[in-house]
């Protein structure tokens, strides 16, 4: 879709400027709308999730604090990564300076890993809740939730910042880095050793999530069969309460399981391509890399849509926030769902 003619540069008056890939007006506008709408949805959708959980007292629980922290990672992707990546992807140039290129790459890596470790801990939380819902509140406490949140953030930010700031990602790639260097570019090559570490940091929590959700699925099936066998029998009040709690926890596990599947579908192609690229000499065409990158970015906009579709309490909370009713006195005590 290039315009043809003379070669366009990112900076026409600078020597060593990167070559610019131009789009005709219609495709250019479509790309801005598609990428920009993803950023807007990631920012405002996740902002609604955070406000809902932090404002309404009924939603104050260790599990929901994990979800709020996950929403924070996705919000930051939408606010600090996607807008700048939109311009880079459409204009094929980086206009935000070399320093922010490094920050942008750090944010990108940090929030990706933070998301997956949050999801991993959420899956473990759901497993505990489904396997023994009555004992669960004493096992996954607020202090445990805080430890999970702190671990997710510290590991993710610490790894990404130390890798990129130390320059370890470029070791052995000096010739490639020199060949790719131009004014208006923002490529951050990662050598095969660190790509493998990246993949391991992605694969280990992914494997934990898959195993845990398989176990949750088996437990849910066993509980469903047990409920069916008890339908013809008179239920004692304690058993009835236990089954109601178990049903609610299974529904929460199902919803967050869908969020995990969405994350894997979004990010797995990107990580697999990064492995292939590192060992085959960075052969992925630019447009393929951009598609995989945006597929991954869009995951940050998907979770609020999943919650809105499956959680009636979230839809009710959105209505109260958007209509300004949360500004009323005692609005934090509004009941969003019945026990």
**Residue 241 pLDDT class (50, 70, 90 cuts):** low
CATH of 25-332, one of 3.90.1150.10, 3.40.50.720, 3.40.50.300, 1.20.1070.10: 1.20.1070.10
Q: What is the pLDDT of residues 74-118, one digit of tens each?
A: 999 999 999 999 999 998 899 998 889 889 999 998 998 999 899
Backbone angles phi, psi at 209, to 5 degrees: -60, -45
CA distance 179 to 187: 11
E strand or H helix at 33: helix 25-55
Length, in residues, of the chain: 339
Q: What is the pLDDT of residues 164-191, one digit of tens each?
A: 877 776 776 677 666 667 888 887 777 7
**Residues 6 or more apart whose Cβ sits within 8 Å of residue 159:** 109, 110, 113, 201
Predicted structure pTM score: 0.86
Q: What is the pLDDT of residues 35-52, one digit of tens each?
A: 999 999 999 999 999 999
For residue 19, the cross-strand partners are 9
SS3 (DSSP) at 133: coil
Task: Say if residues 317 and 60 touch (Cβ distance below 8 Å).
Answer: no
User: What's residue 3's pLDDT?
Assistant: 46
Where are the chain's structural domains?
A: 25-332
Q: Which two tokens stand for residue 217?
A: 């699925």
């Amino acid at each position: 879709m290039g315009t043809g003619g003379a070669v366009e540069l990112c900076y026409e008056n600078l020597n060593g400027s990167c070559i610019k890939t131009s789009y005709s007006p219609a495709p250019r506008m479509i790309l801005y709308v598609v990428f920009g709408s993803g950023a807007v949805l990631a920012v405002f959708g996740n902002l609604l999730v955070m406000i809902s959980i932090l404002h309404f007292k009924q939603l104050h629980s260790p599990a929901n604090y994990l979800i709020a922290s996950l929403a924070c990672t996705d919000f930051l992707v939408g606010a600090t990564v996607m807008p700048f990546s939109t311009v880079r992807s459409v204009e094929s140039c980086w206009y935000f300076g070399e320093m922010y290129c490094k920050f942008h790459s750090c944010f990108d890596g940090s929030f990706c890993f933070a998301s997956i470790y949050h999801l991993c801990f959420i899956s473990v939380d759901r497993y505990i809740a489904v396997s023994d819902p009555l004992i669960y509140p004493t096992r996954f406490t607020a202090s445990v939730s805080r430890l999970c949140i702190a671990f997710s953030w510290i590991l993710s930010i610490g790894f990404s910042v130390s890798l990129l700031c130390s320059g370890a990602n470029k070791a052995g790639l000096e010739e490639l880095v020199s060949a790719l260097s131009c004014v208006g570019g923002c490529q951050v090559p990662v050598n095969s050793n660190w790509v493998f570490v990246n993949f391991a940091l992605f694969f280990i929590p992914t494997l934990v999530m898959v195993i845990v959700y398989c176990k949750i699925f088996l437990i849910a099936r066993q509980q469903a069969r047990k409920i069916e066998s008890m339908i013809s029998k008179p239920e004692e009040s304690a058993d009835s309460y236990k089954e109601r709690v178990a049903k609610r926890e299974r529904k929460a596990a199902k919803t967050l399981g869908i969020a995990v599947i969405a994350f894997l579908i979004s990010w797995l192609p990107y990580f697999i391509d990064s492995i292939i690229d590192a060992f085959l000499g960075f052969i992925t065409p630019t447009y393929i890399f951009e598609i995989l990158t945006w597929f991954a970015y869009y995951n940050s906009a998907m979770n609020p849509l999943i919650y809105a579709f499956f959680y009636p309490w979230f839809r009710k909370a959105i209505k109260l926030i958007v209509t300004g009713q949360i500004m009323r006195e005692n609005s934090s005590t509004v009941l969003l769902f019945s026990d």
